[in-house]
């Protein structure tokens, strides 16, 4: 057989020459990621020349994805002018599919190119948001922990303050690692990467364990993740939690003999291609990716992962660690005080990551920590008057104010390093199973705990419980590896012929009536068998809902066994008008449950005058392990477009080869918003409140909360039916009138929207315009949209030279970067960016009065007017 020798040469050349990401020059070039279909007739080079682009390098570790660039058209002063490269692709596609020229050589060339380009997307810069922590910490004055120090020979001067390792005051509340250390389990041979800002490898505490080979700076495109900006200390602190050396500097890491790499992405805006590369960087040697960042935790963002990021995570779990899968650890988020929930964040609600929320040194739930059905576990962090002591930036520096869910995640990453030393053969799913099996039920009387069908206990606040390293490793010692992953993609249900096209134009569906509407989906044994699904693990649910106020919508999933997962609870600050255009929720609450039977999705709102919505449809994926491991395994692939409901019913869908639309739901660009409590470490913890008091999780109590009118289980499942029966005729007439108006208005807006969306598809530099036009929120100035990184707790001065006594209380935008640190940044004018108006973002003042005008079920506490954290869950429960 003759090998396509030149092809091989070319690939080899790309792999070796372009192995690391070259420096980008966004001012001179426009960058794109091109996915080439290697089976197509046109070569990569043909495609590049047809599109007029230059091939730069492979896109991270993604097979057949290439970073390409074209010189910027500087004459294009009007930013709204079409992107020439995207336009070229569209022209090629229209030539390829045009009937008139079907036989011409030009058309067949166009066809070859069109079928070889599977994906093309402009790369724009966005800023990710740190889940940082900090503030005031009383000198804890712990008694020394002489015994552990002596046994392990620990001379680190601040070890006695590391209560998360040995907690003398509340001995039950610690990561419980010292017993493993005594057995020689200290993370030897395991590498974790901090996907974060800089990592100070010159720190004497980190230098001995720094892993340079797996480190890279994706912000400045250099090899080493050197902290440069004044607030680049977050990655260093998180790294210290995992692998601070046992020496005479500060404290120790949980896995003090493991290695840490730094992947710097948070110190400036970053394009998807680089974020994707970071998540797969050196993924054969690096096992764990610790990620303490995400979309803003402001209680009103809903942001998923773009196609390349999802692709990278799937690539990581399928090919990383020699196929056993990279372990992604994500912090659940710090937006608890503004009702934020980790199911509104596509990183934390991904089935491919372990989502970690926080508990404080007394084991209580700190109010910043986000709850949701995708929470897997909790770990110790700040709150109740204490924070985390860890290495800081500088040769010999120690931080005492680290915290937030930002610090909970690296504590778990450190424990995973211990776990993988003992069981390097575990797959990414084994690690998740072990978390479910071994996490400890903390605060057992907390009403947030509920029994699952498998007999386990789950809580939105704590997931399956707190990670205890000793217990985890103990369970792992004789753990049998799980069988390969299987999944069932249920056919979508179109409620009353509901549909939504790629432009988010909705048709059909059913109005959300008071009390909510429901839809049932039957899962049969035959379906499981045909996809070879044995035992259930995750469930993802995708919903299509339009609503005039997204934060009013509540969504819950009820299993055939009566177990409920609250997927979306009310978010008081979220007044987006975009609804849920194919948004995916995730729940781990049905782990090990038998899924056969009828599942019910209930969608409700606050039944407020003037606010309304339509439930269009939903679908569900069941993920688990195969029943029969001898059958061929179906491999999951990330779809290009998966936000269309009933694609066949609309003529406006593009062929799936042209994806200049980033996944429609996942591009809501945040502005600077840091609704993060500055006093996170002194916040009173709780263990006596359900996470979502009004949301049906506790059927018995709900009868009292009038306006939410959560139905009892009996009526709830048939609420839609009974609503229809009891609604008087005038209701339908009114609906008809509204529809008639809506349709004419809809046609007008649809036309506009289509036009703007087309701009979006072809205009990398101006998608901020397009996004704001659909109410998606958007940030960005000039051609670079910045995804605002938020500095979780408004990082304070402790930062600067580790001097936490001189904390700055005034917060404001950090110089030079888009890390936003202040609430004031919410105002676009003060943030100096975001030219387009945000329909996504409520004005806090009007929002509040609106809330008071229409809220029937909760008394407003005076404190709730503050705008930055109304603690709605708590207040809501107080009124019960």
Ligand X SMILES: *[C@@H]1O[C@H](CO)[C@@H](O)[C@H](O)[C@H]1NC(C)=O
Which listed range, 58-66, 463-471, 554-562, 598-606, lies at the site for ligand X (CB under 6 A)? Answer: 463-471
Q: Does 284 bind ligand X (CB under 6 A)?
A: yes
CB 412 within 8 A of CB 392: no
Query: Minimum distance between the CB of residue 170 and ligand X, rounded to whole angstroms?
Result: 13
196 catalytic? Reply is: yes
Q: Which is nearer to ligand X, 19 or 700 (CB)?
A: 19
Query: Minimum distance between the CB of residue 468 and ligand X, rounded to whole angstroms?
Result: 5
Which listed range, 35-43, 171-179, 323-331, 446-454, lies at the site for ligand X (CB under 6 A)? Answer: 171-179
Task: State the Cα–Cα distance between residues 423 and 253, nearest whole angstrom.
Answer: 20
Residue 125 tokens, joined? 């810069």
Q: Which is nearer to ligand X, 172 or 631 (CB)?
A: 172
Which listed range, 26-34, 174-182, 683-691, 717-725, lies at the site for ligand X (CB under 6 A)? Answer: 174-182
Q: Does 470 bind ligand X (CB under 6 A)?
A: yes
Residue tagged 């909360």 (tokens) = 705
Q: Which uninterrupted H or E stretch holds 321? A: none
The contact mask relative to ligand X for 235-274 (x = CB under 6 A, - = no) is ----------------------------------------
Q: Which is nearer to ligand X, 284 or 396 (CB)?
A: 284
Q: Which residues of 149-176 are buried (b: 16+ CB within 10 A; e: fewer)?
A: beebebebebbbbbbbbbbeebeebbbb
Query: Minimum distance between the CB of residue 466 and ligand X, rounded to whole angstroms?
Result: 9
DSSP letter, residue 711: P
Residue positions counted in the chain: 880
What is the 3-class SS of 100-142, one letter each residue? CCCCCHHHHHHHHHHHHEEEEEEECCECCEECCCCCCCCCCCC
Q: Which is nearer to ligand X, 173 or 877 (CB)?
A: 173
Residue of 65, 164, 216, 234 marked active site:
234
Query: Minimum distance between the CB of residue 16 and ligand X, rounded to whole angstroms?
Result: 13
Q: Which is nearer to ligand X, 51 or 440 (CB)?
A: 440
Q: Which is nearer to ligand X, 462 or 572 (CB)?
A: 462
Sorted by sequence, the CB contacts under 8 Å of residue 222 that are 6+ apart come out as 216
| DSSP string of 579-647, one letter each residue | -EEEEEEEE-TTTT----EEEEEEEE----TT--EEEEEEEEEEEEEES-TTSPPPPP---S----BSG
Q: Does 471 bind ligand X (CB under 6 A)?
A: yes
Q: Does 741 bind ligand X (CB under 6 A)?
A: no
Query: Minimum distance between the CB of residue 185 and ligand X, rounded to whole angstroms?
Result: 11
Q: Does 285 bind ligand X (CB under 6 A)?
A: yes
Q: Does 43 bind ligand X (CB under 6 A)?
A: no
Task: State the Cα–Cα distance between residues 851 and 860, nearest whole angstrom.
Answer: 9
Q: Which is nearer to ligand X, 210 or 790 (CB)?
A: 210
Query: Minimum distance between the CB of residue 435 and ligand X, rounded to whole angstroms?
Result: 14
Task: State the Cα–Cα distance between residues 296 and 653, nearest whole angstrom.
Answer: 31
Query: Minimum distance between the CB of residue 5 and ligand X, rounded to whole angstroms?
Result: 25
Residue 174 tokens, joined? 């610690």
Residue of 406, 565, 666, 877 marked active site:
406
Please give the residues from 813 up to 832 whose contact with ligand X meets the rule CB under 6 A.
none
Q: Which is nearer to ligand X, 509 or 581 (CB)?
A: 509
799 catalytic? Reply is: no
Query: Minimum distance between the CB of residue 175 and ligand X, rounded to whole angstroms?
Result: 9
DSSP letter, residue 818: -
Q: Which of 37, 149, 496, 561 binds ligand X (CB under 6 A)?
A: 496
Which listed range, 448-456, 464-472, 539-547, 760-768, lies at the site for ligand X (CB under 6 A)? Answer: 464-472
CB 653 within 8 A of CB 661: no
234 catalytic? Reply is: yes
Q: Which of 37, 179, 746, 850 binds ligand X (CB under 6 A)?
A: 179
Which listed range, 143-151, 173-181, 305-313, 734-742, lies at the site for ligand X (CB under 6 A)? Answer: 173-181
Size of the site for ligand X (CB under 6 A): 12
Q: Which is nearer to ligand X, 210 or 692 (CB)?
A: 210
| Residue of this chain nearest to ligand X (CB atom) | 179
Query: Minimum distance between the CB of residue 188 and ligand X, rounded to whole angstroms?
Result: 13
Q: For residue 28, count other CB atoms closer than 10 A to its CB.
A: 10
Task: State the Cα–Cα distance between residues 612 and 639, nearest whole angstrom.
Answer: 31
Query: Minimum distance between the CB of residue 47 and ligand X, rounded to whole angstroms?
Result: 30
CB 66 within 8 A of CB 18: no
Residue 842 tokens, joined? 């409520």
Q: Which of 468, 537, 840, 870 binds ligand X (CB under 6 A)?
A: 468
Which listed range, 20-28, 465-473, 674-682, 838-846, lies at the site for ligand X (CB under 6 A)? Answer: 465-473
- For residues 811, 815, 821, 826, the Cα torsion angle rounded to the nearest 10 degrees is 100
Residue of 30, 83, 196, 446 marked active site:
196
Q: Does 438 bind ligand X (CB under 6 A)?
A: no
Distances (CA, A) of 283 to 81, 347, 552, 636: 40, 18, 41, 19
Which listed range, 4-12, 28-36, 218-226, 466-474, lies at the site for ligand X (CB under 6 A)? Answer: 466-474
CB 284 within 8 A of CB 322: yes
Q: Which is nearer to ligand X, 190 or 557 (CB)?
A: 190
Distances (CA, A) of 533 to 218, 265, 489, 633, 637: 39, 37, 11, 10, 17
Task: State the Cα–Cα distance between residues 205 and 251, nearest whole angstrom.
Answer: 8
The contact mask relative to ligand X for 188-227 (x = CB under 6 A, - = no) is -------------------------x--------------
Q: Which is nearer to ligand X, 321 or 820 (CB)?
A: 321
Which listed range, 175-183, 343-351, 397-405, 826-834, lies at the site for ligand X (CB under 6 A)? Answer: 175-183
What is the 3-class SS of 516-547, one letter each residue? CEEEEEEECHHHHHHCCEEEEEEEEEEEEEEE
Q: Which is nearer to ligand X, 230 or 284 (CB)?
A: 284
DSSP letter, residue 712: P
What is the 3-class SS of 218-238, one letter each residue? CCCCECCCCCCCCCCCHHHHH
Query: Minimum distance between the CB of residue 650 and ligand X, rounded to whole angstroms?
Result: 13
Closest CA to 158 of 454, 390, 452: 390
Q: Which of 124, 176, 762, 784 binds ligand X (CB under 6 A)?
A: 176
Site of interaction with ligand X (CB under 6 A): 176, 178-179, 213, 284-285, 440, 468, 470-471, 496-497
Q: Which positions are catalytic?
A: 196, 234, 406
């Amino acid at each position: 057989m003759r090998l396509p020798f030149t092809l091989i040469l070319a690939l080899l050349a790309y792999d070796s020459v372009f192995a690391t990401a070259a420096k980008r020059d966004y001012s001179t070039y426009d960058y794109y990621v091109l996915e080439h279909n290697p089976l197509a007739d046109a070569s990569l080079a043909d495609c590049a020349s047809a599109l007029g682009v230059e091939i730069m390098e492979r896109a991270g570790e993604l097979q057949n994805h290439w970073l390409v660039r074209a010189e910027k058209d500087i004459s294009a002063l009007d930013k709204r002018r079409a992107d020439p490269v995207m336009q070229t692709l569209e022209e090629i596609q229209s030539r390829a599919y045009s009937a008139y020229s079907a036989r011409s050589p030009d058309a067949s060339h166009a066809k070859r190119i069109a079928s070889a380009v599977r994906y093309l997307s402009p790369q724009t810069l966005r800023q990710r948001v740190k889940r940082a922590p900090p503030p005031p910490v009383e000198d804890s004055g712990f008694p020394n922990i002489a015994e552990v120090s002596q046994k392990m020979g620990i001379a680190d001067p601040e070890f006695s303050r590391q209560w998360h390792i040995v907690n003398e005051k509340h001995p039950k509340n610690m990561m419980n690692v010292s017993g493993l250390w005594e057995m020689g389990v200290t993370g030897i041979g395991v590498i974790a990467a901090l996907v974060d800002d800089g990592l100070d490898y010159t720190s004497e505490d980190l230098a001995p364990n720094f892993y340079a080979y797996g480190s890279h700076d994706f912000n400045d495109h250099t090899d080493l993740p050197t902290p440069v900006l004044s607030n680049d200390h977050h990655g260093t602190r998180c790294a210290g939690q995992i692998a601070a050396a046992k020496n005479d500097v500060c404290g120790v890491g949980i896995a003090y003999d493991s290695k840490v790499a730094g992947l710097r992405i948070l110190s400036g805006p970053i394009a998807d291609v680089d974020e994707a590369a970071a998540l797969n960087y050196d993924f054969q040697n690096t096992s764990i990716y610790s990620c303490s960042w995400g979309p803003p935790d402001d209680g009103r963002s809903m942001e998923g992962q773009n196609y390349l990021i999802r692709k990278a995570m799937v690539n990581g779990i399928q090919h990383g660690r020699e196929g056993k899968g990279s372990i992604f650890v994500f912090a659940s988020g710090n937006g608890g005080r503004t009702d934020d929930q980790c199911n509104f964040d596509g990183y934390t609600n991904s089935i491919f990551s372990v989502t970690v929320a926080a508990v404080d040194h007394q084991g209580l739930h700190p109010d910043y920590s986000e709850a949701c059905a995708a929470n897997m576990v909790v770990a110790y962090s700040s709150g109740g008057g204490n924070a985390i002591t860890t290495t800081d930036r500088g040769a010999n520096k120690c931080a005492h104010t680290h915290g937030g869910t930002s610090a909970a995640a690296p504590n778990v990453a450190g424990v995973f390093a211990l776990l993988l030393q003992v069981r390097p053969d575990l797959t990414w799913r084994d690690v998740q199973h072990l978390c479910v099996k071994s996490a400890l039920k903390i605060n057992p009387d907390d009403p947030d705990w509920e029994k699952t069908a498998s007999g386990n206990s789950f809580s939105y606040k704590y997931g399956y419980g707190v990670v205890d390293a000793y217990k985890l490793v103990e369970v792992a010692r004789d753990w049998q590896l799980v069988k390969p992953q299987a999944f069932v993609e249920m056919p979508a249900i179109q409620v009353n012929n509901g549909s939504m096209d790629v432009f988010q134009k909705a048709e059909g569906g059913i109005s959300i009536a008071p009390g909510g509407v429901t839809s049932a989906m039957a899962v049969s044994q035959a379906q499981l068998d045909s996809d070879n699904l044995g035992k259930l693990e995750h469930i993802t649910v995708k919903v299509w809902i339009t609503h005039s106020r997204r934060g009013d919508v509540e969504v819950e999933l009820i299993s055939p066994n009566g177990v409920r997962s609250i997927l979306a609870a009310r978010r008081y600050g979220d007044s987006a008008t975009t609804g849920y255009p194919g948004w995916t929720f995730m729940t781990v609450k049905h782990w090990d449950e038998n899924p056969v039977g009828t599942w019910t999705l209930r969608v409700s709102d606050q039944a407020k005058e003037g606010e309304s919505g339509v439930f269009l449809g939903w679908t569900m994926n069941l993920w688990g392990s195969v029943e029969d491991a001898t059958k061929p395994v179906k491999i999951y692939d990330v779809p290009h477009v998966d936000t269309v409901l009933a694609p066949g019913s609309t003529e406006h869908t593009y062929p799936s080869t042209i994806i200049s639309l980033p996944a429609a739901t996942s591009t809501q660009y945040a502005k600077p918003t840091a609704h993060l409590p500055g006093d996170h470490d002194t916040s009173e913890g709780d263990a006596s409140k359900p996470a979502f008091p009004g949301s049906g999780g506790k059927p018995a109590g709900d009868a009292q909360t009038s306006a939410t009118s959560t139905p009892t289980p009996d009526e709830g499942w048939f609420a839609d039916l009974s609503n229809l029966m009891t609604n008087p005729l005038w209701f339908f007439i009114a609906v008809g009138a509204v529809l008639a108006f809506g349709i004419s208005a809809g046609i007008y807006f649809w036309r506009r929207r289509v036009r703007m969306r087309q701009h979006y598809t072809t205009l990398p530099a101006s998608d901020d315009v397009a996004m704001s036009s659909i109410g998606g929120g958007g940030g960005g100035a000039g051609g670079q949209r910045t995804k605002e990184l938020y500095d979780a707790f408004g990082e304070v001065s402790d930062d600067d030279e580790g001097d936490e006594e001189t904390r700055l209380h005034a917060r404001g935008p950090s110089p030079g970067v888009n890390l936003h640190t202040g609430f004031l940044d919410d105002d676009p004018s003060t943030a100096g960016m975001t030219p387009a108006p945000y329909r996504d973002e409520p004005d806090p003042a009007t929002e509040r009065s609106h809330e008071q005008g229409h809220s029937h079920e909760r008394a407003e506490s005076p404190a709730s007017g503050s705008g930055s954290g109304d603690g709605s869950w708590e207040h809501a429960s107080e009124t019960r």
